[in-house]
Structure formats: structure tokens, C-alpha cells
Amino acid sequence: MSSFSPAFREHLDRECTTLCHCWRVARRDGQTYGFTDHDRALTVDGQTFEPESGFAQSEARTSLGMAPDSVDVEGALSSDRLTEEDIQSGLFDGATVETLLVNWCEPEQFATIRTAVVGKMTRADGRFVAELESVAASLDRPNGRYLRRGCDARLGDARCGVDLGAAEFNGSGAVIAIAAPGMLRVSGLAGFTASWFSFGEITWTSGQLAGRTSTVVDHRNASGTVMLAVPSGERQPAPGDAFTVVAGCDKRFATCKAKFSNPINFRGFPHLPGNDAAYGYVSEGGNFDGRPIVE
């Protein structure tokens, strides 16, 4: 929270004030937006804040101790820079939101009264409601590693060590047709085996989705036709849209070994016994040759 200037404090002490709220939204991709509940545009701290969005916030509370706080911000999807497609695609998830208290008669008098992160966002009837979580909310999330059989590294990161720049892990092509919602018939990937790009990332290089990235749900090769499945809830590409795609990983030890030749960097615990082993017992006919469970 920023300090209040003497002039702003003097204004706040008056019986009649000219105050409004402004919200500065900074997305993780670097895009910045400004909105206000005032009835005209304001320029505050070098940022222009639009009035057309009709933003309004719920009651804000600040709790003592480590309890996380939240406040809801509601607005209409009326701004040309704020579209339902962007919200639905998750571009505003995790965005930082600064709430400013501003003297709209003299916009140079302002103070940051809250900094939060966009948590849950819901949409209905052309409006949206964004839940802004305080910084303390990050302390309420699990941190650290889990003991599980699957790998917990991100494919290609420093812990994984796989070089995703290699040619065998990259492909490119274009959409031929939309076979079904979320199912695309594509060209350019006939040389790759089925499931090679499942769980990978597809980046659109042309069309209305140019620059956006999403996850490949499934990769199929059937009857000489390559099919890619993408989340059906997201905005869909059009025939002719070009893309690049990177191979994916299902986080299994066998895949890490066979597909990426990287078992030494596997970040899971494949030998971890499950419930079947924990509750198992010696029985006649069992195979007890001492071989490893995972090879």
C-alpha cells in the first residue's frame, strides 16, 4: 500500500470528497489495462483508465493475521480491449490487479489501496465476476514436491533436461478442416506416430489465434488423416490456420525412457508401492523372482 500525499490526506479529511476507484490490470504476458468506476476516462500515473466497463467491487475486508482476503470485481464486457474470448482463454488468470483510490477532480492525488491477483473468474449474461485474492492467499497453496509415481517436472525445463529444440520433437502444419468441436484435421504431421504430440503444446502462427498457445489433448493418426484434439471450450481455429507443435509427455517413467531417453532425470518415484503392494500378501502361485517393478 502506497503512502498518501499531504494534499490527498487533506482532501480525504473534507466532509465532501470527489473519489473514485481505478483498477490497473497487468496480465502475465505484459499487457496492461485500466478501468474505473468513474463516469469519464481518467489518466492516473501515466495509465488511462476507461469508464465504459462499468466496474464495481464488493465489500473489501482486511483481516488480521495470516488469513487470506478476497474481494469481487464485477464488470460488463463492454470494453473493446476486454473480450469474452480472452477471458475464456485464460489470458487474465493470474493477472495482477492494483486498486487505486483517486481524486477524480485532481487525478495526480491517488494512492494504491490494494494489490491482488485474479483468482477464480466466472462469466454469465455478458458480464464477468473476478475474485481478487490477496498476497496472503499464496501462502494457502500447497508448496513443495509430492511423492508420486508420475514426474512432476515440466517437459524441457532445467529439472527435466530434455532439449525440445530437437527436430524429432517439433512439427508444423495447418488446419484442413474442423472434424468436430475441439477435433482438428491437420496436415504436416503424417511422419509422426500417433500420440507423439499428445499433452504437448500447439502455438498458432496465423489466423485469429496467432500467438496463442494451448495444450494438445490427443493426437491420432487414422486412415492417413492426422487429428489433433484441443480444448473445445476455447476459441477454435479456422481451416488454413498454421501452427507449430511440440511433443508432449504423459509423465510416466516408461515414456521418459522410451520416448525421450531421459530416465536419469525422471522427477517421480516409479518404484513407490501402491495400495496393491501395501495390502498385498504372499499367496500360492505368486511370482517372487526379485525383479524390479519398473524397468
Question: What are the chain's domains?
Answer: 6-140 (2.30.110), 167-246 (2.40.10.190)
Work out the pLDDT band at 111, boundaries 50, 70, 90. very high
Q: What is the pLDDT of residue 61?
A: 52
pLDDT tens for residues 146-177?
Answer: 888 899 999 999 999 999 999 999 999 999 98
| Candidate from 40-49, 51-60, 143-152, 156-165 with smallest mean pLDDT | 51-60
Q: What is the pLDDT of residue 70?
A: 57
Q: Which residue(s) pair with 184 in the sheet?
A: 178, 228
Considering the entire predicted model, what is its pTM?
A: 0.56
Q: What is the pLDDT of residue 64?
A: 45
271 closest CA partner among 249, 292, 255: 292
Angstrom CA distances, 127 to 54, 83, 95, 118, stand at: 10, 10, 18, 16
**Cβ neighbour number for residue 59 with a 10 Å cutoff:** 6
Work out the pLDDT band at 284, boundaries 50, 70, 90. confident
Work out the pLDDT band at 59, boundaries 50, 70, 90. very low
**90: pLDDT strictly greater than 90:** no
Q: Rounded to a whole number, what is the distance in angstroms from the first to the last CA of the chain?
A: 55
CA separation for the pair 50, 71 (Å, rounded): 21
CA separation for the pair 172, 45 (Å, rounded): 44
Greater confidence, 242 or 2?
242
Q: How many helices (H) and strands (E) does the chain have?
A: 4, 16
**Average pLDDT, whole number, for the chain?**
81
Indicate the SS3 state at residue 26.
Answer: strand
Q: Which residue(s) pair with 56 in the sheet?
A: 74
DSSP notation for 58-92: ------STT---EEEEEEETTSTT--HHHHHTTTT
Q: How far is CA 15 from the centre of its chain?
A: 45
Place of cell 500420440: 195
Q: What is the pLDDT of residue 225?
A: 63
CA separation for the pair 200, 249 (Å, rounded): 7
Inter-residue long-range contacts of 216-224, CB under 8 Å, 24+ positions, other chains counted? 216/245, 216/248, 217/182, 219/189, 219/192, 219/194, 219/195, 220/194, 220/195, 221/190, 221/192, 221/193, 221/194, 224/190
